[in-house]
Chain A
Amino acid sequence: KQEVTQIPAALSVPEGENLVLNCSFTDSAIYNLQWFRQDPGKGLTSLLLIQSSQREQTSGRLNASLDKSSGRSTLYIAASQPGDSATYLCAVDYNTDKLIFGTGTRLQVFP
């Protein structure tokens, strides 16, 4: 069964910290992996997409890495800010009709 797990489920950090969110998947034959951000009462915003042939993608203070062989991806957030507070979801695409989502990490960055 293809499952996606995210740890931790929740994280609370002071502003300015660098932090790492983890995503693991049971089937390593992925097509691509996306990281999304979800704000309360809002839809999902795609942050980064990593193709299966790539090792990492960067956007501003965000860096996502992919290690297919170990079934893991990490999202690194540098110099966290209160505006980064949200739920972060990773989703795996096996080149089928659907994305398989993890249950998310709820991040709170306090001033």
Chain B
Amino acid sequence: GAGVSQSPSNKVTEKGKDVELRCDPISGHTALYWYRQSLGQGLEFLIYFQGNSAPDKSGLPSDRFSAERTGGSVSTLTIQRTQQEDSAVYLCASSLAEKAFFGQGTRLTVV
């Protein structure tokens, strides 16, 4: 597609359930990022993938969070045993050079 695509756009889940968020980056972009934006907060870095290198997971807030990127393209962010504090907009971005292109995000609500 022409841009970064994220699905679902909205997700409501019960506390304790697992969720998977998907990101389809722009074709050919080697770098992929996940960020989290909580209400009234700035964007918080979660994880970064670059080509075949080991991902930078330094921003993941707990071991309930994990992400993978298959074939250097699609990425999935998984949150296990969701908590209410996980409610936020999860944004994915991809880049080839320095300019980052963001998807529209997945709004996650944990009830």
Contacts and interface: CB of A to CB of B under 8 A. Distances in A.
B100 A103 contact: no
Q: Chain B interface residue count: which class?
A: 20 to 34
Interface string A28-46: 0001101010000111111
B59 interface: yes
B65 interface: no
Interface string B35-72: 10000011101001010000010110000000000000
Describe B's contact surface by its main secondary structure.
Answer: strand
A43 B5 CA distance: 10
B100 A46 contact: yes
A101 interface: yes
Interface in B18-37: 33, 35
Contact of B98 (A32, A98, A104): A32
Interface residues of A, number: 24
B99 A44 contact: no
A93 B42 contact: no
Interface string B73-110: 00000000000000000010100001111111101000
B48 A97 contact: yes
Contact of B42 (A43, A46, A101): A101
B93 to A, nearest CB: 8
Given A93-B98, A99-B45, 4 more contacts: A41-B107, A43-B91, A100-B45, A102-B42
Interface of A: 4, 31-32, 34, 36, 41-46, 49, 51, 89, 91, 93, 97-104
By Cβ-Cβ distance, the 7 closest A-B pairs, closest first, are A97-B48, A43-B102, A98-B45, A97-B56, A44-B102, A101-B43, A103-B42
Interface of B: 4, 6, 33, 35, 41-43, 45, 48, 50, 56, 58-59, 91, 93, 98-105, 107
